[in-house]
Structure 1
Amino acid sequence: MTASPFAAPATTSGIDWKTVNGALLYIEPLNSEKVTSNYGESDVVRSNIVVLDGPSAGDRYDDCLVFPKVLANQLRPKIGEKVLGRLGQGQAKLGQSAPWLLAEATAADIEVGVAYINQQASGQLQPPAPQQAPATNTGGQPPF
């Protein structure tokens, strides 16, 4: 039997926002599009997402559709840029779920984000010296 020159299809998986709640996220918004689901038509933002800290540190979600409305609205004007923020939830309106949103990155978060993009650019994704985690951190080390 000959070895196959073909790659196997990628598995599809979406991001579970609850799992990365409180984590520092590096996001590259790629484009905005409309998709139709069982719940109707939605304006979503297709993005590459990397979890930089917390229990899911190192998880990558390439070509991921961002459905949460407030979060998508935060990312839409930043298409083509790099976004860094800490995932959290706002206040729920009566009868609705609390919206997912990104809080602005702190100075410590920015250091982690800059280290990540510098190491990504150099091809040396290795852990930096241990840093003290911010109070809202869910634990874990950055994935590089």
Structure 2
Amino acid sequence: MSATTDRNVCTPGETISVVAQICNSSSKNTRPKFKLEQKTVFRCNESTKKWVMNLFKEVGETISPNSERTVSCQLKIPDDAISTIHNCEIISVEYYIKVYLDISFAFDPEVVFPLVIVPSRCAAIQPGEAVGAYPPGTTVVTS
């Protein structure tokens, strides 16, 4: 199995395209599954508490033994998803897209993509672009 996404950074409400190419060379039927997970970790003194929540899950059609198929999924980021947090000592919020095969009585192979969710106001900023009250190259004259 190989899988790809069209991007790794998005904003709440956007849709990400995930495509998986599956070669089922086993003797069992398999089903592709797509999942968006939010992992939150709380840290206080010596204790750590982890919380994992499934935000989206889709199950594809059954792929018969000894066959190949390309499957895709349009994964919508929830409108109320909070931003990714990596630089805080007491809390972290991470998102993952998981593409895996459900094979009965066998190890389920999976591909995991980290996903960064940024606020909508940050998505329009391009690398190297000035951020401020006025567009770059303009001068404000007051008299």
Q: Which has the higher strand share?
A: 2
Q: TM-score, with normalisation over the residues of structure 1?
A: 0.24
TM-score, normalising length: structure 2: 0.24
Larger Rg: 1 or 2? Answer: 2
Higher helix share: 1
Higher relative contact order (CA 8 A, sep 6+): 2
